[in-house]
Structure 1
Amino acid sequence: MTSPEPTSAPDPDLDETRRLALNGPRGAVRRSREFSRQALLDWHWLAMDGEHWPDDEQVAVFEDVLLMVSELVTNACLYAPGGPRELRLCWNTLRLRVEVSDASPEPPRLRPSAYPGKPGGHGLRVVDRLAGAWGSRPEGAGKSVWLEVPSPLDHRRPIGARGR
């Protein structure tokens, strides 16, 4: 689902932003996944505290975010001149916003899903299904493609309730 209105600047209510400079496609997907994984761990997306275990939903959202980061960065590697420029992760305990900037002014488009078994062209479909919202906005001579995911942290189970 795309957002009906692109934002012109990062949301000022977001508490923490981490940035990873990406100078082209070489190693960008791997570096972006590692950077994102560490940020999510630092923000305790999978941490066990004194009262809660990470539940299946929390683990699934963690993995989904890493997949969506990979898809956005891969698209910038494939379709933007010079590849991705920067990955930004913005977190405010209620939602995570992921942004990937590149030098292409062309907004991303969902491809028709006529051949679901054919490789390629499915990345934005994955993002469309998994993200709470996504879209793009102009940024300098290029653009930033963004997605948002609600926090999975309020879904955690108490430690004593490991079974379902």
Structure 2
Amino acid sequence: MTISVLLETALGSFTIAVDDAKAPVTAANFLRYVDDGLLNDAEAYRIVTYENQNPQSLHKIEVVQWGYHTTDDRPAPYPPIAHETTEMAGLSHKDMTVSMARFAVGSAASEFFICIGDQPELDFGGRRNPDGQGFAAFGQVVDGRETVMKIFAEAETGAGNEYKKQPVKFTRVRRA
């Protein structure tokens, strides 16, 4: 089963189909943020392109990262969740896949990303994260690709400039 979520941003809207059957833990976490209104002021604050990431990165990716935008002064309101690998869920990081951002396994909470193009290095066994566990895919952009690409086009240029000086604001996120 999939659940549709509509995301409205300053650059337009897009819809995500959340796969709560294949990724139940990750989907439930995302939907909790949606249902509690915590993504209504989300930001797309990190846009990673082949050109703007660290030149030493061996396994380059392209993604739009967005979410609650935690900081030291603004921690995630809910605890991190268990890691559902792509091997467990049977999902992979294809073009427009939505996934959880994380540092260590079990650290994902309130930050998400959308793949621009296929990103197999983000799957279980991929080499983007040294632990090889990959990232937890849980959905797919099914409408509004043009909006996601407008956000992606807002990327900063130059190596080491993944983080936006002026993040793209989300105005409303709700079940469709």
Same fold (TM over 0.5): no
Q: Which has the larger radius of gyration?
A: 1
The structure carrying a bigger helix percent of its residues is 1
What is the TM-score with the length of structure 1 in the denominator?
0.26
What is the TM-score with the length of structure 2 in the denominator?
0.25
The structure carrying a bigger strand percent of its residues is 2
